[in-house]
Structure 1
């Protein structure tokens, strides 16, 4: 079934008390609106239209960075949800297929639930509304169901006492044939206290036109909306709890699950060991059998099978570790490719570099990759050994099986199997230490007087 997503993302989010549009506030490293886009991705939508308003330029930039094929339309006046959806009319002119309306501040509607909505459409329903059983219905609109038909949506303020007892509530998510959706919206009026055009009114209009409306249900947690910083923190907690459980169910060991922080797109293989206080930024792929030791931070990187990272390691974007690589404590890598079995065990920075198979990088080694204007590349060959406290001044190449003596500053290429060493000549003065110490003690005493 051909599908278009319409994502409403025009609200300012006054309760966020922020200059940033509400839908750009992040959960698990991705803006709320990106979560909504990702929810529909497994359904392979042909079109994705995001309705922006407040901070539209910022929203456009972030949405297109995530999906360059997405389309941005503007809602210049906030005149209700039906009016917001109607802003996508021109973009979807001539589109033949279904449209699902999602919300940029409701990040957790699952792909499975959207699949259920599609199934309801395929079974003959003209309009499908997503509902949920609310623990505390409160101010939610109620879905009045008669048999297998959705009769109407009643706002809490307009509901009778009997209708207020209904716990099946409206999430706002709607699906219909695109042409049908916009035809129904064209008939929505604004004769209400707020003077706004409400998407919920299409159910009454559709029923009056003899169309079939049905409700599909999901867990209440999927409909969690974010309207404040408190809501944002609660949503983050919901995501992290769910993702931790998923990781463990899929074969990863989390030693202290409550301390591990996932990004929205983190991918872990089987038999991965994650020690306490590991943080994943966006874009991390970890293969089978990896050990991620405590207090490590990973972002935009790939960790090959059987590698060991940390503790206290930082893998920055562009880090690509092959099988069996060892990255030790207080090591930082960035835009670095490390081949099978390479070792950087402690206190080093490897940036804009390639490290050959089985190469060993000694403690305190740094690749000097930045000259203040441009970045430069360092190449370290297979089985090379870099002595501790060395500085490799890029651009530079260290050949295969070459040795670099500890404490060296290397600014020229080192051929394969060569030894390179740069040190000042060491001098030893017998007895001078005792004389110098005595002189310094005398100076200290005189200063005290």
Structure 2
């Protein structure tokens, strides 16, 4: 098979999205729309990828700043799809293979479909091959016009079509494979003699036919693969399709989803075998979840690495955290970024953590805030404990060493260090370091006044 380059058209604003954000950067299952054709082009073995940008060009450049495999071509004025391809031509000077042309707002095309398109292009020895689909209602799409031999002779846009041509149900997806030596010569000669006054890429079909070159169609069975995103209704429809694909792959790989239609696992999420995920769970930020975990209903997990046999109970929120094996979290716990829980830690209901490490076997079972702290192994944190980490100007750390027992309703006023195997009495406000093996009591002595109630007043 000939060498392959890809051009992705992503210069349009997307007015019907009614958004300040350029259309191709709208998220779909955890990734911007344009990420999907980019990935498909890579998986189809494109050696060069050129993204044609226009509106909010800097936003796309910034988002993909670390992607050295992508080149950008600027289309300053949006004069049609043919003009967009012409803007990419300087990046492919001297390239003699095939060019795969994709749309940045068409996210559902599968890599296997593109490979089949490329194979058909080679088998037919075509100069241009277009990916097509048949629709019951093809309104708004360019129609595929064929001769008696089944070769494509033209693509006619809706506004330029005759009544007979509008009756054709086979439509142009906007996805092509084109011989490079023909493509760039053709787009350099495109005119604007059409209803839109633009340089239509579809006119290269007519130009190829006039030169006696072969143009083929590659029909696909599922029209959803070529659905373009023009507004937020279509974005939601595409999201439902993508999430169904994602969820089915996880289930086939050994993950149980109690209610797949109500499970929201973003693109890039990794889940180990025999993990069970309840309804209403949201997992995003390329989170990784190990084997034999239980994620109960309503949990939200963003950007976390979770080990094996972890239980995340209902309603808990985990962000930017590292969870080791055999940990139990929740219900209704909140792990904020920078949290790391080692093996067999227990975080109970209404416990909040932030920028802490918690050693093996330690637990905080109820109603606790632990922030900016290093907590050792086998530590018991009593109900209502707070690490007072902020003095109004700066954050300070609390260090609690191995084997410490902390009673209920304790405040640690950081910076403070609690030595190993010490005990903190309930109700204490700890403002000074506590030595190892000590008992710290930092509270007022109780005073009982006999008969006070009777004598009052």
**Partner residue in 2 for 1:302:** 305
5+ residue gaps in structure 2? 390-395, 431-441
Q: CA deviation at 1:47?
A: 2.8
Q: Is the 8 A contact 2:160 2:195 kept in 1?
A: no
Aligned equivalent of 2:407, options 400, 405, 408: 405
Residue deviations 1:18-72 (CA, integer Å, cap 9, x gap): 222122222223222223323334234333322121222223323436x354322
Cα distance change of structure 1 residues 428 and 215 upon mapping to structure 2, 3 Å threshold: farther
**Partner residue in 2 for 1:154:** 156
- TM-score between the two structures when normalised by the length of structure 2: 0.85
**Partner residue in 2 for 1:98:** 98
**Partner residue in 1 for 2:343:** 340
Map 1:194-233 to 2 at 5 A: 194-218=196-220, 219-233=222-236
Residue deviations 1:177-210 (CA, integer Å, cap 9, x gap): 4444222222322222322111111122223334
**Partner residue in 2 for 1:367:** 370
- Note the aligned Cα RMSD (angstroms): 2.6
CA distance in 1, matches of 2:78, 2:385: 61
Range 3-12 or range 404-413, more displaced: 404-413
Residue deviations 1:103-151 (CA, integer Å, cap 9, x gap): 1221111111122123234434332211112122223222234546333
Q: Is the 8 A contact 1:187 1:205 kept in 2?
A: no
**Partner residue in 2 for 1:416:** 420
**Partner residue in 2 for 1:429:** 448
**Partner residue in 2 for 1:275:** 278
Q: Is the 8 A contact 2:276 2:294 kept in 1?
A: yes
**2:244 match: secondary structure:** helix
Q: Is the 8 A contact 1:6 1:100 kept in 2?
A: yes
**Partner residue in 2 for 1:45:** 46
Q: Is the 8 A contact 2:155 2:202 kept in 1?
A: yes
Q: CA deviation at 1:250?
A: 3.2
**Partner residue in 1 for 2:392:** none
Q: Is the 8 A contact 2:351 2:366 kept in 1?
A: yes
Cα distance change of structure 1 residues 435 and 275 upon mapping to structure 2, 3 Å threshold: farther
Residue deviations 1:396-443 (CA, integer Å, cap 9, x gap): 33223333333323332233333345341341425578459x77xxxx
Map 1:86-125 to 2 at 5 A: 86-95=86-95, 97-123=97-123, 124-125=125-126
Aligned equivalent of 1:288, options 266, 286, 291: 291
**Partner residue in 2 for 1:442:** none
CA distance in 1, matches of 2:453, 2:236: 62
CA distance in 2, matches of 1:406, 1:152: 78
- Moved beyond 6 Å, runs of 4+: none
**Partner residue in 1 for 2:435:** none
Q: Is the 8 A contact 1:295 1:313 kept in 2?
A: yes
Q: Is the 8 A contact 1:27 1:232 kept in 2?
A: yes
CA distance in 1, matches of 2:97, 2:410: 66
CA distance in 1, matches of 2:203, 2:60: 28
Cα distance change of structure 1 residues 435 and 201 upon mapping to structure 2, 3 Å threshold: farther
Cα distance change of structure 1 residues 291 and 140 upon mapping to structure 2, 3 Å threshold: same
Q: Is the 8 A contact 2:355 2:371 kept in 1?
A: no
| Count of aligned residue pairs for this structure pair | 428
Cα distance change of structure 1 residues 178 and 360 upon mapping to structure 2, 3 Å threshold: farther
- TM-score between the two structures when normalised by the length of structure 1: 0.86
Q: CA deviation at 1:221?
A: 0.5
**Partner residue in 2 for 1:26:** 27
CA distance in 2, matches of 1:420, 1:389: 13
Q: CA deviation at 1:87?
A: 1.1
**Partner residue in 2 for 1:446:** none
